[in-house]
């Protein structure tokens, strides 16, 4: 950050080193994480404002650990993809890392105040990132300027923080333990009435960030307008913050409220899946397809959570991980195409595979993960979610599978139009992804395949996190 | 025997103000700008003296003036604000105003008045201090003699403010009639014996609330704010927005927590409604504004709404939250005003759309403005986030969750118009491309203010403990 803004290369290398550092540290924490031990690990705690019981309390468990890894991988790939940025480079990377530090902060916080602090910190940089480096889209009758999308996204996300903020303060007051520490608040048993009133606050607040229907409309607009790396981070990691928030704050602290409101969540989640998929089907812009597919896939995450059974929850967390990587891959591929073609309209493309072999191949991997083909990480996750859904709410399970089928339709159709068929004259000058971009995407592809073939690497960690969560519900059921 | 050591700092400040006033007579025309330096030094010395006399506590003149930790807190806070305003004026005054001598001495007198408001232990003293502040401001607002807007603002301010003062005085006279004393503690005693509200007391409270509500620009007594903010010379606007408002709260807080303590809970609902109105009206009307000063005027009305939340449910938790938010709000607002003044000095423009592309023309100014506004909006990393969070938590803890809900929604609304300014600065294309040469003094002041905004934002513990010591003497539960 101290570098003069004219040293373009130096800035990029610093950014790359930082990104790599993030990746290494994330990988490190994932490897040293001990699934068999209970509770939180790598805990750090500092008093910050003892007067009202705020402390900087950090630690990870089986749910946040994979999220850390996800963030590390995505940010590293995102820096590589941003290699071509040439306008106000320094500001761009500074904001990007602000965003990422906010994300890490949320995943690591065991204190509600800091969780909220980092959550807002992750939201602010989005506005300038989209507003300055984003792109506007115009389809004649339907135009979205980048300013519009940036503002919409920011207002939606901050609106989401309103109920969360209220719920956090309410919990603090109600608990009477004079602390924002999640571990201490966990010990408090809030009255059923209180839980039932305030769980929806958490659900809707974080749900907005997770793209929960009907509060999802910021997501496609925002993702489309954002520059590639920001879309990757946003769809890949930031939306996960929402789902993570529901688990960490909502489910952990308000188990009774969770049980009461889960039928609503699963209904909305199913709408997410089907609605997102159908909307993706109708889009003409490559990035909008991916944007709506994110909405649809986040539906699976929420669906898995709402089942409240072990496999559903682990499926949901795995889906968060898998979708994060997958959607980052999608956005980076679209970014590579857009950089050269300067359009994202699906209809004008054709036969790109002949010129962009690597891009096409990677796109195929992402696409197949997306529609849940065995061998990729998406399959394991979606399979778990469906099994859990059939156990608990069979009807919604069926609808979920229909959603997956629609996904297959739009993904395959997309691939067929864009990459195969006769090569159009207009695109004969296009060339493949650069080496740097290739490396970035290859990491993502590798992760998808690795987790797909060897899901246990992640699953054991996730399961160790799900266990304590489920105990919370069983105690409630037992007591109530 | 009167112990003058208790008011040594004040005596020093009076002396300094007269030195500036008289020095003006003897200095040659081109040397008068040195008075800014003298005033700045006087304020710094004042802070040093206040700190070194921090152990001298007690009451003077049978309790007319109370020197306690609450007073000492404001003896440090107010001169810091005045100091920023003086530094803001250094480039502004020679360009646009005549007679620097009176200008700076009026700022010093006003600072004295504000401190007196904080240390008053009796209603007549409080009223006189308030009037001293008002008289300084009447002159300062209309100081740009050749600018019709400034004259208009000055006239409006005098007419409306004297009306408000009359109401306040009338209210005080009712209070005296009921309590038979003008001392805060005496009023508290007789009110607790009388028990509860009655017709005469309500009359008194309504008048007092209106009079002081005008001073702090709470809705529905806020109408003067935008015109005065727009017309007054910019550093004076900053002074009104930050210092005089903080002084109003310094008075309100002591008055409510000592004199009105027995009935504060019953009157709280009225304050709560005023708070809700101030936030909502301030924020909604701010969206419409096209002029930077008017935007900041309405935003300050909204901020008053937040501060009044603390007053609506008065206890030691909310009182310290109010002081903390005054500090956080003050420093953030000073950053915004500093940037606006610097930009006005360089370009002579103060419409929001004139800020287009500021990020290209002066990255520092744009970044500082963005930080100031984001802090006012209450985004993390900056002072505004933690002070608001603390204030809202305190209010919710005192049973005002509904008001907190209104406030949180209002925070969201406020983000919208602050972001519009940021959009102009960062996303819109500039009309002119030349880089703006920012004077070194401005850069230095901005850096210090920004450091304060960020420091309070990430490590508020020292300020909070200072605030808690300050409110201890108020005797709140």
Instruction: Quote the tokens at residue B219.
Output: 């809705």
Burial class of residue B477, CB neighbours in 10 A (0-12, 13-18, 19+):
exposed
The per-residue pLDDT for B168 is 92
A28-44 per-residue burial string, b: 16 or more CB within 10 A, e: under 16: ebbeebebeeeebbbee
Instruction: Quote the tokens at residue B355.
Output: 């800020």
Which residues of chain B are within 8 Å of residue A132 when distances are taken between CB atoms? 426-427
CB contact under 8 A, B412 and A155: yes
Residue of A48, A131, A173 with shortest CB distance to B461: A48
A391: CB partners within 8 A, 6+ apart: A307, A309, A312
pLDDT exceeds cutoff 70 at A328: yes
Instruction: Quote the tokens at residue B249.
Output: 């709260």
Distances (CA, A) of A34 to A30, A267, A299, B268, B382: 9, 36, 30, 54, 37
In three-state secondary structure terms, A84 is helix
Tell me how close the Cα of A407 comes to any Cα of chain B, in angstroms.
36
Residue of A127, A151, A169 with shortest CB distance to B404: A169
Residue of B409, B416, B426 with shortest CB distance to A155: B416
CB contact under 8 A, B426 and A52: no
Residue of B409, B422, B459 with shortest CB distance to A162: B409
CB contact under 8 A, A170 and B416: no
A343: CB partners within 8 A, 6+ apart: none
Task: Give, as one character, the DSSP assignment of residue B381.
Answer: T
The pairing of strands A143-144 and A137-138 is antiparallel
**H-helix segments, A226-285:** 228-233, 239-245, 252-253, 255-282
The per-residue pLDDT for A34 is 67
Strand partners for A44: A58
Q: What is the number of domains present in chain B? A: 1
Instruction: Quote the tokens at residue B122.
Output: 């009796």
The per-residue pLDDT for A479 is 46
Maximal C-alpha separation, chain A: 71
Q: Kindly state the percentage of chain B with pLDDT values over 90.
A: 23
Q: Kindly state the percentage of chain A with pLDDT values over 90.
A: 0
Residue of A nearest to B403 (CA): A166
Residue of A nearest to B318 (CA): A52
CB contact under 8 A, B415 and A165: no
pLDDT exceeds cutoff 90 at A213: no
CA–CA distance, B260 with B270 (Å, rounded to integer): 14
CB contact under 8 A, B427 and A131: yes
Residue B288 forms part of a structural domain: yes
Query: Which of B308, B328, B253, B367 lies closest to B81 in space, CA to CA?
Result: B328
Read off the pLDDT of residues A257-266 as tens digits, 9 standing for 90 and up.
Answer: 888 888 888 8
| CB pairs A-B closer than 8 Å | 75
Q: How high is the mean pLDDT of chain A?
A: 79
Residue that wins the pLDDT comparison between B473 and B374? B374
- Under an 8 Å CB criterion, which residues of B touch A? 374, 379-381, 385-386, 389-390, 392-393, 396-397, 401, 404-405, 408-409, 411-412, 415-416, 419, 422-423, 426-427, 459-461, 464-465, 468
CB contact at 8 A, A344 and A225: no
Q: Which residue out of B313, B394, B419 would a mutagenesis test of the A interface target, given it has the greatest number of A Cβ atoms within 10 Å?
A: B419
Query: Which of A365, A472, A450 lies closest to A63 in space, CA to CA?
Result: A472
Read off the pLDDT of residues B45-98 as tens digits, 9 standing for 90 and up.
Answer: 888 888 887 777 777 777 788 888 888 899 889 999 999 999 888 888 878 877
The mean pLDDT of A190-200, rounded to a whole number, is: 84
Residue of A50, A118, A158 with shortest CB distance to B412: A158
Q: What is the DSSP string of A73-139?
A: HHHHHHHHHGGG--SSHHHHHHHHHHHHHHHHHHHHB-BHHHHHHHHHHHHTTHHHHHHHH---EE-
The mean pLDDT of B454-473, rounded to a whole number, is: 85
Question: Is pTM beyond 0.90 here?
Answer: no
Which residues of chain B are within 8 Å of residue A51 when distances are taken between CB atoms? 464-465, 468
Residue B419 forms part of a structural domain: yes
Query: Which of A125, A323, A345 lies closest to A224 in space, CA to CA?
Result: A345
Residue of A113, A118, A170 with shortest CB distance to B396: A170
- Coarse DSSP helix, strand, coil percentages of chain A, rounded to the nearest 5 percent: 75, 5, 20
Residue of B nearest to A47 (CA): B461
What angle (nearest 5°) sits at the alpha carbon of residue B470, between those of residues B466 and B472?
A: 120
Residue B439 forms part of a structural domain: yes
Stated as kind and residue range, the H or E segment containing B65 is strand B65-67
The mean pLDDT of B443-448, rounded to a whole number, is: 89
Which residues of chain A are within 8 Å of residue B392 when distances are taken between CB atoms? 165, 169
CB contact under 8 A, B385 and A51: no
pLDDT exceeds cutoff 50 at A409: yes
The per-residue pLDDT for A98 is 82
Tell me how close the Cα of B468 comes to any Cα of chain A, in angstroms.
10
The per-residue pLDDT for A2 is 39
CA–CA distance, A139 with B366 (Å, rounded to integer): 34
What Rg do the C-alpha atoms of chain A give, in angstroms?
A: 21
Residue B42 forms part of a structural domain: no
**Comparing A69-73, A88-92, A155-159, A427-431, which segment has the lowest mean pLDDT?**
A427-431
CB contact at 8 A, A169 and B399: no
A256: CB partners within 8 A, 6+ apart: A190, A192, A195, A196, A476, A480
Task: Give, as one character, the DSSP assignment of residue A54.
Answer: E
CA–CA distance, A445 with A67 (Å, rounded to integer): 17
The mean pLDDT of B439-464, rounded to a whole number, is: 87
Which residues of chain A are within 8 Å of residue B374 when distances are taken between CB atoms? 124
Strand partners for A345: A285
The per-residue pLDDT for A8 is 58
B110: CB partners within 8 A, 6+ apart: B82, B132, B133, B136, B137, B140, B239, B243, B244
CB contact under 8 A, B393 and A172: yes
CB contact under 8 A, B385 and A120: yes
pLDDT exceeds cutoff 70 at A143: no
B462: CB partners within 8 A, 6+ apart: none
In three-state secondary structure terms, B218 is coil
Residue B133 forms part of a structural domain: no
A473: CB partners within 8 A, 6+ apart: A255, A258, A259, A308
Residue B438 forms part of a structural domain: yes
Read off the pLDDT of residues A284-322 as tens digits, 9 standing for 90 and up.
Answer: 788 888 888 888 888 888 888 888 888 888 888 888 888
Quick check: ipTM above 0.85? Answer: no
Range of the domain at B446: 260-477
Question: A177-191, A292-306, B268-282 — which one is most confidently predicted on average?
Answer: B268-282
The mean pLDDT of A437-459, rounded to a whole number, is: 81
CB contact under 8 A, A120 and B460: no
CA–CA distance, A360 with A340 (Å, rounded to integer): 15
CB contact under 8 A, A173 and B423: no
Q: Kindly state the percentage of chain B with pLDDT values over 70.
A: 99
What angle (nearest 5°) sits at the alpha carbon of residue A425, between those of residues A424 and A428?
A: 95
Residue of B nearest to A115 (CA): B380
pLDDT exceeds cutoff 70 at A35: no
- Under an 8 Å CB criterion, which residues of A touch B? 48-52, 113, 116-118, 120-121, 124, 127-128, 131-132, 147, 151, 154-155, 158-159, 162, 165-166, 169-170, 172-173
Which residues of chain A are within 8 Å of residue B379 when distances are taken between CB atoms? 120-121, 124
Stated as kind and residue range, the H or E segment containing A55 is strand A54-60
CA–CA distance, A419 with B190 (Å, rounded to integer): 87
What Rg do the C-alpha atoms of chain B give, in angstroms?
A: 21
Stated as kind and residue range, the H or E segment containing A60 is strand A54-60
Which residues of chain B are within 8 Å of residue A151 when distances are taken between CB atoms? 416, 419, 423
Residue B211 forms part of a structural domain: no
CB contact under 8 A, A132 and B468: no
CA–CA distance, A109 with A45 (Å, rounded to integer): 10
pLDDT band at residue B127 under the 50/70/90 scheme: very high
Query: Which of A337, A476, A304, A477 lies closest to A418 in space, CA to CA?
Result: A337
B300 alpha carbon, distance to own chain's centre? 9
What angle (nearest 5°) sits at the alpha carbon of residue A378, between those of residues A375 and A379?
A: 55
Residues in chain B: 477
Residue B354 forms part of a structural domain: yes
Which residues of chain A are within 8 Å of residue B454 when distances are taken between CB atoms? none
């Amino acid at each position: 950050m101290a570098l003069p803004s004219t040293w373009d290369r130096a800035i990029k290398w610093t950014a790359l080193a930082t990104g790599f550092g993030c990746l290494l540290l994330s990988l490190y924490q994932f490897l040293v994480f001990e699934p068999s031990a209970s509770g939180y690990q790598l805990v750090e705690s500092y008093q910050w404002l003892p007067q009202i019981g705020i402390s900087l309390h950090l630690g990870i468990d089986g749910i946040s650990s994979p999220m850390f890894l996800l963030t590390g991988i995505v940010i590293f790939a995102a820096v590589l993809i941003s290699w071509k940025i040439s306008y106000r480079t320094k500001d761009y990377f500074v904001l990007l890392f602000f965003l990422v530090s906010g994300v890490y902060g949320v995943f690591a916080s065991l204190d509600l105040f800091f969780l909220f602090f980092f959550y807002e910190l992750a939201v602010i940089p989005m506005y300038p990132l989209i507003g300055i480096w984003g792109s506007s889209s115009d389809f004649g009758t339907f135009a979205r300027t980048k300013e519009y999308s940036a503002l919409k996204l920011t207002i939606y996300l901050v609106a989401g923080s309103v109920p969360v903020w209220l719920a956090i303060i309410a919990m603090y007051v109600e608990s009477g333990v004079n602390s924002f520490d999640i571990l201490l608040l966990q010990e408090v048993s809030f009255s059923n009435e209180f839980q039932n009133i305030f769980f929806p606050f958490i659900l809707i607040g974080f749900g907005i960030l997770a793209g929960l229907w009907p509060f999802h409309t910021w997501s496609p607009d925002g993702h489309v307008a954002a520059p590639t790396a920001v879309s990757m981070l946003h769809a890949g990691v930031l939306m996960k913050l929402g789902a993570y928030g529901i688990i960490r704050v909502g489910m952990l602290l308000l188990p009774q409220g969770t049980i009461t409101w889960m039928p609503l969540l699963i209904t909305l989640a199913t709408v997410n899946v089907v609605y997102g998929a159908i909307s993706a089907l109708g889009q003409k812009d490559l990035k909008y397809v991916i944007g709506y597919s994110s909405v649809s896939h986040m539906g699976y995450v929420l669906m898995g959570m709402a089942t409240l059974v072990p496999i559903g929850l682990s499926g949901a967390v795995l889906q968060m991980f898998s979708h994060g990587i997958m959607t980052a891959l999608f956005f980076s591929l679209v970014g590579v195409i857009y950089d050269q073609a300067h359009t994202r309209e699906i209809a004008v493309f054709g036969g790109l595979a002949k010129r962009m072999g690597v891009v096409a191949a990677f796109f195929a991997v992402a696409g197949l993960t997306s529609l849940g083909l065995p061998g990729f990480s998406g399959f394991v996750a979606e399979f778990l979610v469906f099994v859990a859904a059939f156990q608990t709410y069979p009807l919604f399970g069926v609808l979920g599978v229909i959603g997956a089928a629609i996904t297959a339709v739009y993904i395959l159709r997309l691939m067929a139009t864009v990459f195969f068929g006769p090569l159009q004259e207009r695109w004969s000058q296009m060339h493949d992804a650069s080496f740097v971009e290739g490396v970035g995407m290859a990491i993502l592809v590798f992760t998808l395949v690795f987790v797909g073939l060897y899901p246990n690497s992640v699953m054991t960690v996730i399961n160790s996190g799900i266990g304590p969560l489920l105990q919370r519900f069983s105690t409630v059921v037992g007591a109530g | 025997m009167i112990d003058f050591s208790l008011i040594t700092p004040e005596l020093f400040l009076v002396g300094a103000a007269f030195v500036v006033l008289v020095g003006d007579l003897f200095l040659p025309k081109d040397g008068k700008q040195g008075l800014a330096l003298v005033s700045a030094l006087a304020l710094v010395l004042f802070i040093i003296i206040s700190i070194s006399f921090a152990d001298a506590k007690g009451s003077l003149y049978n309790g007319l003036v109370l020197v306690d930790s609450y007073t000492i807190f404001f003896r440090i806070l107010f001169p810091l604000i005045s100091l920023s305003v003086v530094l803001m004026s250094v480039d502004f005054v020679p360009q646009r105003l005549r007679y620097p001598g009176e200008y700076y001495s009026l700022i010093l007198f006003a600072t004295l008045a504000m401190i007196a408001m904080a240390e008053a232990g009796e209603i007549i003293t409080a009223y006189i201090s308030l009037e001293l502040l008002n008289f300084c401001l009447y002159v300062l607002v209309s100081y740009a003699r050749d600018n019709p807007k400034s004259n208009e603002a000055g006239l409006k301010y005098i007419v409306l403010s004297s009306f408000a003062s009359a109401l306040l005085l009338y209210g005080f006279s009712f209070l005296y009639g009921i309590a038979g004393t003008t001392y805060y503690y005496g009023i508290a005693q007789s009110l607790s014996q009388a028990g509860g509200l009655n017709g005469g007391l309500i009359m008194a409270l309504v008048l007092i609330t209106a009079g002081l509500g005008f001073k702090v620009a709470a809705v529905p007594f806020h109408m003067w704010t935008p015109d005065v903010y727009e017309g007054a010379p910019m550093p004076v606007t900053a002074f009104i927005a930050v210092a005089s408002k903080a002084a109003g709260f310094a008075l309100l807080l002591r008055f409510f927590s000592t004199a009105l303590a027995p009935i504060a809970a019953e009157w709280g609902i009225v304050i709560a409604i005023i708070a809700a109105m101030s936030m909502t009206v301030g924020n909604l009307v701010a969206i419409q504004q096209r002029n930077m000063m008017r935007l900041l005027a309405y935003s300050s009305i909204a901020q008053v709404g937040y501060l009044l939340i603390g007053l609506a449910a008065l206890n030691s938790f909310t009182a310290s939250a109010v002081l903390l938010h005054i500090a956080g709000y003050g420093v953030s607002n000073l950053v915004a005003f500093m940037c606006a003044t610097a930009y006005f000095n360089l370009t002579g423009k103060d419409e929001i759309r004139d800020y287009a592309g500021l990020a290209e023309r002066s990255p520092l100014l744009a970044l500082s403005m963005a930080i100031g506004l984001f802090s006012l909006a209450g985004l993390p990393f900056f002072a505004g986030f933690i002070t608001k969070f603390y204030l809202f938590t305190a209010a919710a803890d005192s049973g005002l969750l509904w008001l907190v809900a209104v406030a949180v929604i209002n925070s969201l609304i406020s983000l919208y118009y602050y972001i519009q300014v940021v959009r102009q600065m960062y996303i819109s294309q500039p009309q002119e491309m030349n880089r703006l040469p920012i004077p070194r003094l401005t850069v230095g002041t901005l850096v210090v203010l920004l450091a304060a905004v960020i420091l309070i934002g990430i490590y508020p513990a020292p300020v909070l403990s200072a605030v808690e010591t300050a409110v201890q003497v108020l005797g709140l539960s």
